[in-house]
Amino acid sequence: MSTEAEMVELPQVHAIEPIPAHVSRELVRPFPYVLGAKTKAKPHSFIKAIHEGPEVFWAERCFNGVRGAWVPRRVEDLQRIYRDTEHYTSRGFAPFADLVGDTWYFVPAELDPPMHSLLRAAINPLFTPKRMAALEDKIRSYARECVATFRDRGSCEFLSDFAFEFPVKVFLELMGLPQNRVKQFLAWEHGLLHEPDIEKIKDATRSVVACVREEIEDRRVSPRDDFITFGVQAEVEGRKFDDNELVGFCFNLFLGGLDTVSSNMGMQVLHLAERPDHQAILRANPAMIPDAIDEMMRAYAAVATSRECIKETKIGNVTVKPGDKVHMATFLAARDPAVYPRPEEVILDRKPRHVSFGYGPHLCIGMHLARREMRIALEELLSCLPEFSLKPGVEMSYYLAAVIQPVELPLVWKV
């Protein structure tokens, strides 16, 4: 049996921030889900041991790859912290603007009351179930386009052939950007989220911001029916969005809607590739797909965000001080044994209440779109392909952060 340290490959960094004096050394625990870390073990296999430890612990390097943070693991604590805007701010949850010396912030993800609800109210009309339902046929046609490129080949690398490309196509459609920019956006996405080299993250950030600014200027001159135009025309408290809000709105759409969806789809398809029995059930009963997706979103939750303490408070018995980061790892809560019996097991009709889309006022604004994309993806894959499985002999490896994701997912089926 190998130790966790042997199973996780961590990037070298120049300077890990020291552990603050108020953090009890007994509560400093190993935590493999840090930026740039990879593993060949099952990526969620480290979670069971974490649930045998303290209710909240301190993990080094889990914010931004260098800074430590408190890590709660129980559903109850995550739900409470998500809702607690008195002691925690959402500002500073992603490092991108800071890294390049910019002042914009994610809209609405990094906003606090009272601005958060004002801007979220302005943006909500974009994401209503009805508006998302109107996209059904378009989304399905993109999924079919992707599947058609590999169906007759009998094999694919699911991440690059489908899981990345499909949500980018939908994103470009929503933003009013041409489909020939898919590769460009994929490259930026990888640069933002899967590069251990900070300079590459900065480059990708600058590129996305430059693109977004250009598109914003374009929509001011020639408005169209797309999300960027919506942002340019939207009002809050009787004024238009300012420059920081507009850039942050577009950047938030970009980051929120792509890698997270790809990761979840990757883990879902991996599960089905390893469980032909579950594949057969869903093929025979496509109506079970939505519940199955929610259960797989729980079992294979991929995302962690963060909060920063602004007023001293406690998580359990631990004192959290202003300036402390709190790492909100949905994949830990997703396997909380106090809430989910046999948490490691995927039970297709479990119908769990999970926090994989977050909880409270910042609950994923795009969840209706994300659920739709994932459902259509599985419907199309299961109806267009015969039973698929992992390519024999392949050795899987996974990113453990910023989102949990297979590096590659080679699939085969009979043609």
Partner 1 sequence: MAKITYVQPDDRAQTFDVPAGHSLMEGAFRNNVEGIIAECGGACACGTCQVFIDPAWAECVDKPRPLEQSMIEEVDAGKGNLRLSCQISVTDALDGLVVRVPTKQR
Q: What residue ranges bind partner 1 (CB under 8 A)?
A: 79, 82-83, 117-118, 120-122, 124-125, 128-131, 353, 357, 359-363, 365, 367-368, 371
Strands 56-63 and 67-72: antiparallel
Q: Shortest Cβ distance from residue 190 to partner 1 (Å)?
A: 30
Q: Which is nearer to partner 1, 219 or 375 (CB)?
A: 375
Q: Which is nearer to partner 1, 183 or 353 (CB)?
A: 353
Q: Kindly tell me which of 114 and 276 has the beta carbon lying closer to partner 1.
A: 114
Task: Classify 307 as helix, strand or coil.
Answer: strand
In sequence order, the 6+-apart residues with CB closer than 8 A to the CB of 18 are: none
Instruction: Enumerate long-range contacts of 59-62, CB under 8 Å, 24 or more apart.
Output: 59/28, 59/29, 59/30, 59/31, 59/34, 59/327, 60/16, 60/17, 60/19, 60/28, 60/31, 60/34, 61/13, 61/16, 61/31, 61/34, 61/35, 62/31, 62/33, 62/34, 62/304, 62/327, 62/401
Q: Is residue 217 classed exposed, middle or buried when 0-12, 13-18 and 19+ CB atoms within 10 A define those classes?
A: exposed
Which residue, 16 or 133, is less far from partner 1 as judged by CB? 133
Q: Report, in Å, the least distance between residue 84 CB and partner 1.
A: 11
In the complex, the smallest distance separating the C-beta of residue 306 from partner 1, rounded to whole angstroms, is 18
Q: Among residues 126 and 209, whose Cβ is nearest to partner 1? A: 126
CB of 254 to partner 1, least distance (A): 21
Residue 118 exposed, middle or buried by CB count within 10 Å (0-12, 13-18, 19+): middle
The structure tokens listed for 361 are: 């006022």
> Is the CB of 129 or the CB of 316 nearer to partner 1?
129
H helix runs in 324-386, sequence order = 330-333, 367-384
Least CB distance from residue 30 to partner 1, whole Å? Answer: 31
Edge to edge, what strands does the sheet with 155-157 contain?
A: 155-157, 410-412, 389-390
- In the complex with partner 1, the residue whose CB is nearer, 235 or 312, is 235
Structure tokens at 409: 């997912």
Q: Which is nearer to partner 1, 132 or 146 (CB)?
A: 132
CB of 220 to partner 1, least distance (A): 23
> Is 258 within 8 Å of 189 (Cβ atoms)?
yes
d(CA 288, CA 351): 10
CB of 113 to partner 1, least distance (A): 11
Residues in Cβ contact with 10 at an 8 Å cutoff, skipping those fewer than 6 apart: 32, 34, 36, 37
Residue 317 beta carbon to partner 1: minimum distance, rounded to whole angstroms: 24
Residue closer to partner 1 (CB basis): 121 or 384? 121
Q: Which residues pair with 410 in a beta bridge?
A: 157
d(CA 78, CA 334): 10
Evaluated on CA atoms 61, 65, 67, 70, the torsion sign reads negative
Half-sphere exposure for 414 (CA within 13 Å, toward CB): 2
Q: Which is nearer to partner 1, 74 or 362 (CB)?
A: 362
- According to DSSP, residue 28 is labeled B
Minimum CB–partner distance for residue 128 and partner 1 (Å): 5
For residue 233, the minimal CB distance to partner 1 (Å) is: 15
CB of 359 to partner 1, least distance (A): 5
Q: Which is nearer to partner 1, 307 or 371 (CB)?
A: 371
